[in-house]
Amino acid sequence: MQTADIQRRWLEFFGTRGHTVVPSASLVSDDPTLLFTVAGMVPFVPYLTGVVPAPYPRATSVQKCIRTNDIDEVGKTPRHGTFFQMNGNFSFGDYFKEGAISYAWELLTASQSDGGLGFQEKDLWVTVYKDDDEAIALWKKIAGLPDDRIQRLDMDTNYWSTGQPGPAGPCSEIFFDRGPAYGVDGGPATDDDRYVEIWNLVFMQYLRGEGTGKNDFEILGELPNKNIDTGMGMERVAFLLQGVENMYEIDQVRPVLDAAAELSGRRYGADHDDDVRMRVIADHVRSGLMLMTDGVAPGNEGRGYILRRLLRRSIRAMRLLGVDAPTFEVLFAASRDAMSAAYPEITENYDRVSRLALGEEEAFLRTLAAGTTILDLAVSDAKSTGSAALPGDTVFQLHDTFGFPLDLTLEMAEEAGLTVDRGEFDRLMAEQRARAKADAKSKKGALADLSVYGEFRAAGETVFLGYDELETETRVLGLLVGGQSVPVAQAGDIAEVILAETTLYAESGGQDSDEGAIVGSGFDLEVLDVQKPVKGLISHTVQVRAGEVHVGDVARTQVDTQYRRAATQAHSATHVIHAALRQTLGGDAHQSGSYNKAGYMRLDFSWNQALSPATRSEIEEISNIAVRDNLPVETRVMALDEAKALGAMALFGEKYGDTVRVVDIGGPWSRELCAGTHVGTSAEIGVISLVSESSVGSTNRRVEALVGLDAFREFAAERALVQQLTSSLKTPKDQLADRIAELSAQLKAAEKTIAQFEAARLTERVPALVAAARPTGAYTVVAQNVGTLGSADDVRTLATTVRGRLGDSAAVVVLAAETAGKATVIIATTPAAREAGAKAGELARAASAILGGGGGGKDDLAQGGGPDAQRIPAALEAVLAALRG
């Protein structure tokens, strides 16, 4: 049974049983505490926890997921995958345990001809929470399972919670027995790979209290509404129904594995290590394809870093298979062909995804070349010092800074006959993980804070009236101070205000929040920020400037008119520049992110090379022609499918509901899905000044622009600067560039002449310094204060020249000077002096200690100094004393 058929059967089964079929959410999670959608239930968390009222009593989905916690296990076990699909059915206060168990057993065991999955009942086991007698009784009643195929397990494996106070409950898991050829008898309790978990039923029925870990919290009581959250692993079911050994061999993954085998000339199944590498490649390429289809681009932090790591691990694995040449063109095409039946959007976005993948591969192959050079130097240094191991900090730097995989370092070190100091490397990695874990824990804590909005969201969505009005009368529904719900906020407090209606725009879609005020009888609130903490709810962060505000008070929202006008200009300018980019560069230049606020906008777009000055000017001119032409700006609300049919562009990574807002500028010239505020016609934007263009990764560029009055002010400042230069240089404006170039050339020539004079002057001083050499201890020493010189380089040149004139003697040259108001000491030694024991670095440190600074260097040449130039004589005497000793 093909994976796409399993998906179809799942959705049809639950759809015909009263479940709303919900399309998969993006892999980029709405939850601010998560980088990715890590489980099928993530999009439903607000409904399951009661923060947001569920829009339907029961639902089903096939959710795309990414997990990277077990990335090192990928390829080694039959079931660990980075990207996977979780089939889920959910009940929000509707059916409970009996319904969930009945649906699961029916779908699993019904024949394939009847729309089921056709599992044999004799191969299925279940586990339950040890005290859940109700679930055990239901399994016996519904499935007729005997006692020996129902196993009671502890809270750490069969009890679910978010890890925070809130909903919790027992769960029941369904396992498939692969048979004695795959492991020991004894059921899922053996924790053996023979028993594959395929479905988990979570019975969300209790409220848990504070606590840490999986089993040390208190159960406070039952929830008023009991929910069901289940998840069936698509890939696990697919490999069992397709009769293959693991998830990497199913129809959606195997083609990439086969392509890797063909490219490497190795046969899958012939060598264990090679098999693991091919499975890693198959998994990671598919994961990368799905992430990039959902708008993630390779980068150095957050989601981009995870994607980059997956891609680089794939390249590393291909190298370990003996392939150094680029392979992504073949591998990603294989994954596209395997996944498009289930996800047609892959084909629609493949040109962009392919360009990202190929660009990342090219960049990392260069990184590998650079890392190899650094590694070669480290190997050489280790061998020269007689060390048998590469330093752990060097290996960590290669891994952390250059993205050089540890496995590759180990392999290359072994080829050179060396090991790696894993103790130091592991210590540094542990410190890094501890920092990451602390950061993740702090973010996870924010999840619990969202529950405070539940009672406000239950009252309904906040109505946004700001598209048409800048002021409105409303009512205060709630107040939060310090994250806690309070009845009143007083002068000086920083508080969050929940209103029934608002005209203040909440930050979203790249547009910053409005500035303004909330006023009422006896209170005046300055708006500091406006956000959407949970779907459908708008929260205003304010400072109480005067009076007291109470829950229930009548209030009036007031948007800062000037700020809103400039913000709408900037947002509309973002759309205009995006259209100009695509008109100039082509359809591949697709927006990948944006930010705009009053007077300023930036836009990130997919492109892998810098824009020429001519191209930048063309984009700027097209944008301002659109402003001049006073194009109509029209906003319409319509169904998402209708908007896509019209060609409306969506921003990658943004989430859209069934109904969307479409913004047209000049009709189809610029047509995008957007919930931001916009001007009435393009002429209202004013002026667009493209001020910068830069790289934000190997496959993304960024343009920044000033808009409206801010752009005019920039032009005015530049005009004033040009006028000042024309006046100072007595040169007409149209000749200014040539005049500045002429002056620059003259200045360089003068600097060169001065440098020649300075060098000649220094050379003239050499004979006198050589003549000043005096025997000191076992050495011939020149120790002189040479006065004030231009730089430390001048002192160094003088010292090394004098050393050269002293021939084969055991000579030490110590020259001190004042440079840039500080003392500089340069010490140079001849080979004979070094053989006699003189070390320039030690002598430089002795002089620097007197001068109040620091110094050091090699035995032949060293530099020191300090802030106290008055102590140069004492510093010279300290060096002489050291030489006498």
Q: Which two tokens stand for residue 847?
A: 């002089």
857: left (phi over 0), alpha (psi -120 to 50) or beta: left
Cβ contacts of residue 535 below 8 Å, gap of 6+?
30, 46, 52
**Four-residue CA torsion sign, 500, 501, 507, 512:** negative
* Residue 674 marked ligand-binding: yes
Q: How many CB atoms lie within 10 A of CB 310?
A: 24
Enclosing H/E stretch for 563: helix 561-585
Residue 163's SS3 state is: coil
Q: Which has the closest alpha carbon to 523: 502, 549, 503, 485?
A: 549
**Strands, E assignment, 381-504:** 389-390, 419-420, 463-464, 471-481, 484-486, 488-490, 494-499, 501-502
A 10 A CB-CB count for 602 gives: 21
- Write the DSSP symbol of residue 73: G
Q: Is 575 annotated as a binding residue?
A: yes
Going by C-beta distance under 8 Å and a sequence separation of 6 or more, which residues neighbour residue 80? Answer: 70, 73, 74
598, 567 in Cβ contact below 8 A?
Answer: yes
Amino acid (1-letter code) at residue 337? D
Q: Which long-range contacts (CB under 8 A, 24 or more apart) does 18-23 make?
A: 18/57, 18/58, 19/58, 19/59, 19/60, 19/89, 19/90, 20/55, 20/56, 20/58, 20/59, 20/60, 21/59, 21/60, 21/61, 22/59, 22/60, 22/61, 23/61
CA-based nearest residue to 802, from 842, 762, 857: 762
Q: Which residues contact 606 (CB under 8 A, 6 or more apart)?
A: 297, 352, 355, 356, 588, 589, 590, 592, 699, 700
* HSE-up (13 A, CA, CB side) for residue 282: 32
Q: Is 590 annotated as a binding residue?
A: no
Query: Which residue type sits at 810?
Result: A
- 786 CA to centre of own chain: 55
Instruction: Report how many helices (DSSP H) and strands (DSSP E) the chain contains, helices first.
Output: 25, 34
Q: Cα separation of 87 and 107, whole Å? A: 12
Residue 65's CB: how many other CB atoms inside 10 A? 24
d(CA 327, CA 507): 41
| DSSP strand pairing (779-788 vs 811-819) | parallel
Q: Quote the CA–CA distance of 26 and 295 in Å, as a whole number.
A: 9
Residues annotated within a binding site for Zn(2+) = 571, 575, 674, 678
Binding site: residue ranges? 571, 575, 674, 678
